[in-house]
């Protein structure tokens, strides 16, 4: 299968993808990460200045517990933001590779033949990206030891085994 055929097949499998929405989401998540950093610093400074507590336990112990709780929450928020941004960037890069025709279909899909059908199952690292169909099925028109000739949505393609 040449690169033009693979590009055409991958373009048929691409869902509605909007690059502007990707950049908007990255911007929103980055702003949320910065806001959570500022909120963490402000709350830690406030806790340090107001070390008065109505509880009967040690003021220092209560202060340490609250600081630990805020820092753990901050770290979890920053990890979630990082994962969200990396997922969007992975989708953006995959979409650009598909548009340029540099991608191999086997990079994105696991191919399994079931009778005269060829199943395309999206690989794990691209599942949450949302740019490609999760599962697709094509009819095998002809098969030889090295190539499948398939029909998908009215178009014919050759895929190396």
Give the pLDDT of residue 57.
59
Give the pLDDT of residue 19.
79
Give the pLDDT of residue 53.
54
Pick from 115, 153, 158, 114: nearest CA to 14 = 153
Q: What are the tens digits of pLDDT across the range 40-98?
A: 888 877 777 766 655 555 666 767 777 888 888 889 999 999 988 888 888 888 888 77
The number of residues in the chain equals 161
pTM of the model as a whole: 0.62
Residue 153's φ and ψ, nearest 5 degrees, are 50, 45
DSSP, collapsed to helix, strand or coil, labels residue 117 as: strand
Q: Is the pLDDT of residue 126 over 80?
A: no
84/25 Cα distance (integer angstroms): 9
Q: What are the tens digits of pLDDT across the range 4-41?
A: 566 677 777 776 777 788 888 889 999 998 998 888 88
Give the pLDDT of residue 1.
47
């Amino acid at each position: 299968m040449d690169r033009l055929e693979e590009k055409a097949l991958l373009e048929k499998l691409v869902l509605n993808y909007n690059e502007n929405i990707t950049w908007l989401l990255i911007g929103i998540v980055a702003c949320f990460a910065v806001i959570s950093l500022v909120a963490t610093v402000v709350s830690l400074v406030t806790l340090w200045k107001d070390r008065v507590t109505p509880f009967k336990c040690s003021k220092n112990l209560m202060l340490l517990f609250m600081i630990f709780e805020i820092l753990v929450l901050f770290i979890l928020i920053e990890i979630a933001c990082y994962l969200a941004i990396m997922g969007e960037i992975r989708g953006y890069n995959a979409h650009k590779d598909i548009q340029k025709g540099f991608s191999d279909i086997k990079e994105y899909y696991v191919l399994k033949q079931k009778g005269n059908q060829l199943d395309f199952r999206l690989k794990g690292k691209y599942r949450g990206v949302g740019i490609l169909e999760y599962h697709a099925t094509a009819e095998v028109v002809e098969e030889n030891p090295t190539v499948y000739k398939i029909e998908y949505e009215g178009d014919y393609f050759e895929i190396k085994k």
